[in-house]
């Protein structure tokens, strides 16, 4: 009896029989590509992120921004893309900004971030103590923050590096919350009460996806002009501002992995 001729498989059947290790390797390669070089895959930028960035771009020359910074090591993967894109926007604008440090880890983190920002600082001709400054860390209770808003020098006499505030040119005409034009907040409820209601200072909010996004919507359109939470929205902010960084890499890696897996699912 003659041997039955083996039917040749088509390309789709061959793909469907690929070893799963090959599939995982291909997905790993897709994830690795944007880590080395961000692609900037087009994605929809949420209105809340656009409003966040637009509030920064709308600041008049000479405006003063208070940045309430609570960066600490375990949260950085989720929120640092927002921090870095925000610093770059602020450095590119003719405004002044004060960083109010609110966590014990934050002094070392803010210095590390601004070391990485040196090319932008040089490009835009910015100078510490003239265009931006850092307050030292203290445990900022509600009573202390009330005093801070009424008279900054009742709480701080020096900056993070021990320089008297009165020796910093940036602080020459900044004495209280009356001199702030915008507050960047991680706590919309608290800072609506502390800055928006008594002083009429609008807020924009930054933070982690889980720590900010569930709590900010009731204040959006009232005290909060815009908000940006989590690495994914950090990538949106980078795309919208043109300052590509880790957030775009995160979104590119996630989207390429999803596209790759969907292709393999479709072809079998």
Q: Is residue 161 in a domain?
A: yes
Note whether 64 and 177 are same-domain residues.
Answer: yes
More confident residue, 210 or 248: 210
Question: Residue 158 pLDDT more than 90?
Answer: yes
Q: Give residue 194's pLDDT.
A: 96
Note whether 80 and 182 are same-domain residues.
Answer: yes
Q: What is the pTM of this model?
A: 0.82
Question: Residue 5 pLDDT more than 60?
Answer: no
Note whether 22 and 127 are same-domain residues.
Answer: no
- Please write the tens of the pLDDT for every residue from 35-67: 666 666 667 899 999 999 999 999 999 999 999
As for how many domains the chain has, the answer is 2
More confident residue, 254 or 227: 227
Q: Give residue 34's pLDDT.
A: 64
Note whether 143 and 68 are same-domain residues.
Answer: yes
Note whether 88 and 220 are same-domain residues.
Answer: yes
Note whether 263 and 233 are same-domain residues.
Answer: no
Tokens of 76: 């950085």
Q: Give residue 251's pLDDT.
A: 61
Note whether 82 and 192 are same-domain residues.
Answer: yes
Q: Is residue 201 in a domain?
A: yes
Burial status of residue 40 (CB atoms within 10 A of its CB: 0-12, 13-18, 19 or more) = middle
- Please write the tens of the pLDDT for every residue from 178-206: 999 999 999 999 999 999 999 999 999 99
Q: Is residue 52 in a domain?
A: yes
Q: Give residue 159's pLDDT.
A: 98
The CATH code of the domain that includes 150 is: 3.40.50
Note whether 141 and 57 are same-domain residues.
Answer: yes
Helix or strand or coil: residue 180?
Answer: coil
Q: Is residue 196 in a domain?
A: yes
Note whether 261 and 162 are same-domain residues.
Answer: no
Q: Is residue 249 in a domain?
A: no
Q: Is residue 3 in a domain?
A: no
Note whether 62 and 95 are same-domain residues.
Answer: yes
Angle of helix 230-241 versus helix 76-92 axis, rounded to 10:
20
Note whether 201 and 125 are same-domain residues.
Answer: yes
Q: Is residue 203 in a domain?
A: yes
Note whether 83 and 192 are same-domain residues.
Answer: yes
Measured on CA atoms in the order 243, 248, 250, 251, is the torsion positive or negative? positive
Q: Give residue 7's pLDDT.
A: 61
Domain that holds residue 260: 11-38+255-267
* Gap between the Cα atoms of 225 and 241, Å rounded: 17
Percentage of residues of the chain with pLDDT beyond 70: 78
Q: Is residue 30 in a domain?
A: yes
Q: Give residue 78's pLDDT.
A: 87
Q: Give residue 39's pLDDT.
A: 64
Q: Give the alpha-carbon dihedral of 237, 242, 244, 247, to 10 degrees.
A: 10
């Amino acid at each position: 009896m003659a041997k039955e001729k083996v039917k040749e498989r088509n390309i789709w059947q061959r793909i469907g029989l690929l070893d799963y290790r090959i599939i995982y390797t291909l997905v790993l390669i897709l994830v690795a590509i944007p880590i080395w070089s961000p692609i900037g895959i087009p994605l929809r930028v949420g209105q809340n992120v656009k409003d966040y960035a637009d509030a920064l771009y709308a600041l008049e020359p000479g405006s003063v921004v208070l940045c309430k910074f609570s960066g600490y090591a375990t949260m950085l993967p989720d929120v640092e893309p927002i921090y870095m894109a925000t610093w770059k926007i602020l450095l590119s604008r003719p405004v002044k900004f004060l960083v109010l440090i609110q966590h014990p880890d934050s002094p070392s983190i803010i210095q590390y971030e601004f070391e990485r920002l040196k090319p932008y600082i040089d490009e835009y001709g910015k100078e510490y103590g003239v265009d931006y400054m850092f307050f030292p860390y203290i445990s900022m209770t509600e009573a202390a923050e009330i005093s801070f808003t009424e008279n900054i020098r009742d709480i701080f006499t020096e900056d993070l590096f021990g320089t008297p505030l009165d020796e910093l040119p940036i602080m020459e005409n900044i004495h209280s919350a009356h001199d702030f034009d915008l507050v960047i907040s991680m706590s919309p409820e608290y800072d609506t009460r502390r800055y928006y209601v008594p002083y009429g200072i609008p807020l924009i909010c930054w933070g982690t996806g889980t720590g900010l996004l569930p709590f900010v919507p009731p204040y959006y359109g009232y005290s909060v002009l815009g908000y940006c939470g989590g690495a994914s929205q950090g990538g949106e902010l980078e795309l919208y501002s043109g300052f590509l960084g880790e957030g775009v890499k995160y979104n590119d890696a996630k989207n390429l992995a999803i596209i790759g897996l969907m292709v393999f699912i479709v072809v079998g």
